[in-house]
Amino acid sequence: MKIGILAAGSNEGELLKRFGSFAQMTQEMFAGSDLSFQCWDVCLGEFPNSYRDCDGWVITGSPASVYEPLEWIDPLEQLIRDISQARQGLVGICFGHQIIAQALGGVVEKVKAGWGLGVDQYRLTAKGMTWFGVESLSLHVIHQDQVVTLPEGAELLAGSEFCPYGALSYRSHILTIQAHPEFSGGYMQALLPAIAPQYITTSEAESGVRSVLSTPANADVIVQKMTQVLSQSV
């Protein structure tokens, strides 16, 4: 199956050299699957001609916020609605999680709790345990925006004290997660210091790195389910 990666952002500089772009990291996450990929840098105004150009779609993370007045946000939201109406497989990661919720009627805000950095512990709902077969997940996170109001049709799969709406499903063809299953521990250890002090404080970066070192992420079950959603084999 051909999967379109809608890249809403990318690494830059040394991080890009060492770890690749967000689209490349996303594609590597699905290594070993039967999926093939094509990428559009939607953050640069690159869009497919139609949702019909691929069998399924993934929307990556981004340094942008979904509520910013950026020219590419509206066409991305319309593409999301087209994909959803066509019942194609759709996966959203971090920014992707948020923009899908917003496009379908939800609300995303920058929360007063501040940054979630490092590893967050997601507790699964009954529906989430059915989907993933586990009761909890340790996942890499870096965000201060969150989905605060669910759109109609969204079902809660998992969340944490910091991020109550951490993973959502829409019927069986859309799966979104606030966390980053595509981010390795090594990448997180490089990323957090790299964005301090421009975006986060040095102490926040150090605390996030400590949580990464002390708590291994177990994102494999997420990736497995994402693959099933994209393959429409759920």
- Residue of 140, 143, 180, 204 marked catalytic: 180
CATH 3.40.50.880, domain 2-110+145-183+219-231, yes or no = yes
Is residue 182 among the annotated active site residues? yes
Q: Quick one: tokens of 129?
A: 């345990």
Is residue 94 among the annotated active site residues? yes
Q: Pick from 122, 73, 144, 117: which is nearest to 212 by CA? A: 117
pLDDT digits 0-9 by tens, 48-85: 999 999 999 999 999 999 999 999 999 999 999 999 99
* pLDDT score at 232: 84
pLDDT at 151 > cutoff 70: yes
**Residue keyed to tokens 């939201």:** 77
- Residue of 39, 140, 143, 182 marked catalytic: 182
Q: Pick from 175, 117, 166, 173: which is nearest to 141 by CA? A: 117
pLDDT digits 0-9 by tens, 2-14: 999 999 999 999 9
Average pLDDT, the chain: 96
- Residue of 94, 143, 173, 204 marked catalytic: 94
Distance (Å, whole) CA 9 – CA 195: 15
What sign results for the dihedral spanned by CA atoms 220, 191, 12, 121? positive
Q: Domain ranges in the chain?
A: 2-110+145-183+219-231
Instruction: Give the pLDDT band (50/70/90) at residue 234.
Output: low
Distance (Å, whole) CA 107 – CA 148: 6
pLDDT digits 0-9 by tens, 184-202: 999 999 999 999 999 999 9
